[in-house]
Amino acid sequence: MKVQYFAASSLDGFIATEDDSLEWLFALGELDNSSYPTFIQNVGTLVMGSATYEWMLNHAEQVAAETGSAWPYTQPTWVFSSRKLPLIEGADIHFVQGEITPVYSEIQSIIEDKNIWIVGGGELAGQFYDANLLDELIIQIGSVTLAKGKALFPRRALAPTLKLISVHQMGEGMAELHYSVERSTAI
């Protein structure tokens, strides 16, 4: 089992604009030209922040048009939020708040050997990193700059923490970088 942060980013390190828009992303590449089809087969659960979940809520019609369902995932999903949010019909959603570690332990007891996907939220991925629970970063870098917005990974991670595993070109608009994260052995 691995904890993987799979996300798309602008060239200057933002996953969304300041108002959580992803419109810049859609014209850049196709998921079928990435590792995503293989990646999702090994995912046992999704973890996301409330901004990512709200994006799914607010774009349910667009998601349904592209995928056939307002919620395109069959895996259970844990959403970290301090607010009460509506459920998406047909989705297996668990709303949680607080520290990462107890939620991780709960998820780990359910999914067996499948992977945990941190879907969105650089801050949430950073919290998994801080808790020494992040194993991989799979980042699709788009050929755009946003100048400001929501940071990809708002943490300092210096060498040798991140080790580049692979680079894959996705057409003319994106490249996918796959890193392993060396977990700290200090307790």
| Domain parsing of the chain, residue ranges | 2-172
Q: pLDDT tier at 1 (50, 70, 90 boundaries)?
A: very high
Specify the CATH number of the domain 2-172.
3.40.430.10
Task: State the pTM of this model.
Answer: 0.93
Of the candidates 144, 129, 141, 148, the one whose C-alpha atom is nearest the C-alpha of residue 169 is 141
Sheet holding 136-142, edge to edge: 93-96, 77-80, 43-49, 115-120, 3-9, 136-142, 174-181, 162-170
Average pLDDT over residues 166-176: 92
Q: What is the pLDDT of residue 67?
A: 85
